[in-house]
Amino acid sequence: MTTIPQVAQVLQTVLGATAEQAGRESGFVQRESKLSGSKFVQTLVFGWMAAPEATLEQLAQTAAALGVEVSSQGLEQRFSQAAADCVRRVLEAAVQEATAGAAVDVSLLRRFAGVFLLDSSTISLPDALAEVWAGCGSREGSRSALKLQVALDLTTGALRGPLLQAGRVHDRRSEWQQSSWPPGSLRIADLGYFSLEVFQRLAAEGAYYLSRLQVQTAVLDLAGRTYNLLALLQAQDSPVDRPILLGAHHALPARLLAARAPLEVAAERRRRLHAEARRRGQDVSQARLRLADWDILITNAPSQLLTLPEALCLAHARWQVELLFKLWKSQGRLDESRSAKPWRILCEVYAKMLALLIQHWMLIVSCWGRAERSLVKAIQTTQRYAAYVAASFHDAASLCTALATIQRCLSLGCKINKSRVSRRTYQQLLAFEEGLA
């Protein structure tokens, strides 16, 4: 478990010595200047952490709090390709820092050596940045886009990533597809990461996977005979949990799990299928529309480790990483900028991502161990105290005091309220503890 002194040390190293080196190696600092690489990065990170819509004048005030006098015009002139490269280097160094909080007290999660939720999110960029981050280049998308790949451990809050890749790169080509996961851990990813080769490697390494089924994938019985998936499901009066082989060529041993989806969920799936078919100028098969009535999962976790209801609950919990991206954009304004200048926008994306990563570190050492934590309230709290952290940054003891203050606030005041209409994710997870699932 990461401690406050450890977070303070990482912060001072990444935003200090690492940023200084990045300033020199990127060419951002070419001669002695009051706005060094570290001061520049600290100004952007703490300025936009406190106020994601901060103006240049507000950023200049943050610089003053850090001991640097620079005008808003002088700051504006420093946003260049070298500046963006400098901030990117610091972000990539920060991503390598391993931080994890106390494991949340939910036995369903503690059965595994980590429950990793994989997902990605894309940020559109000005077309002028297409050579840096290539987008899809179509009428539907930007010529330049940046994709963030994240793996969130639902048990400890540990974050792998964000890894940066061009927006046009498919999730199946992300680094996660080649990554190893701890033996006994559970990897949960959406269809964008569906790969029988990856599932086979995970099983060989002693890790578990849980995924929705790509319905075009051949499903065989243990004798190697191909099932008609729709007929198999429609013949059942109860949820399905049976051993299968996946893929005509792979014959990968797995469990097929299926249960009827709520009517409103099935209707929304059919709406999306029709919309996608219209976009492509194609028709949707009746079989595909009927399969929308089912939640269909595959896993290699044995039934004594993961029951069908528990698998459905954890598959739904994958929403937590989507919520993280949603909060980064709504609370952290990760995909917004006051400027239309390409290099300033790119600096802003990198710096805001650094700020959000630091906020996540604060969260996991403060309240991750509580299942009912509120990520929204946590981000709002760290934003309020960002100026305090900036003012304390250069003294290790003062920085620890500032972080400890945030820790107390997060521990006491960041509890999500229960919903009487529909159970929150933490309520669903805890229901298994109480025998109410």
Cβ contact 161:97 at 8 Å: no
Q: Please count the helices (runs of H) and the strands (runs of E) in the chain.
A: 18, 9
- Asked if residue 422 has pLDDT above 60, the reply is no
HSE, CB side, 13 Å, CA atoms: give it for residue 129. 25
Q: How many CB atoms lie within 10 A of CB 100?
A: 18
The whole-number average pLDDT for the span 59-80 is 93
- Asked if residue 434 has pLDDT above 80, the reply is no
Rounded to the nearest integer, the mean pLDDT of the chain is: 90
Sheet strands side by side (includes 186-189): 159-166, 144-153, 115-125, 186-189, 208-212, 294-299, 252-260, 240-246, 219-220
Whose structure tokens read 């995909």?
A: 335
Q: How many CB atoms lie within 10 A of CB 211?
A: 23
The Cα–Cα gap between 336 and 88 comes to 18
Q: What is the pTM of this model?
A: 0.90
Comparing 370 with 263, the larger pLDDT belongs to: 263
The pLDDT assigned to 139 comes to 46
Cβ contact 341:31 at 8 Å: no
The Cα–Cα gap between 360 and 256 comes to 35
Token pair listed for 6:
């450890």
The whole-number average pLDDT for the span 204-224 is 94
The pLDDT assigned to 437 comes to 52
Cα dist from 73 to 21, 53, 70, 159, whole Å: 25, 17, 8, 36
The whole-number average pLDDT for the span 69-98 is 94
The Cα–Cα gap between 422 and 427 comes to 9
Tell me the pLDDT tens digit for each residue of 113-163. Answer: 999 999 999 999 999 999 999 998 654 557 899 999 999 999 999 999 999
The whole-number average pLDDT for the span 307-312 is 94
The secondary element (H helix, E strand) that includes residue 117 is strand 115-125
> Going along 261-384, which residue ranges are E strands?
294-299
Strand partners, 121: 148
> Going along 128-247, which residue ranges are E strands?
144-153, 159-166, 186-189, 208-212, 219-220, 240-246
- The residues, ordered by sequence, that sit 6+ positions from 298 with a Cβ below 8 Å of its Cβ are 199, 209, 210, 211, 212, 213, 244, 246, 254, 255, 256, 257
Token pair listed for 81:
């390709």
The secondary element (H helix, E strand) that includes residue 122 is strand 115-125
The DSSP letter of residue 183 is T
The Cα–Cα gap between 387 and 259 comes to 50
Burial classification of residue 13, based on how many CB atoms lie within 10 Å of its CB (0-12 exposed, 13-18 middle, 19 or more buried): middle
Helix (H, G, I), strand (E, B) or coil at 242: strand
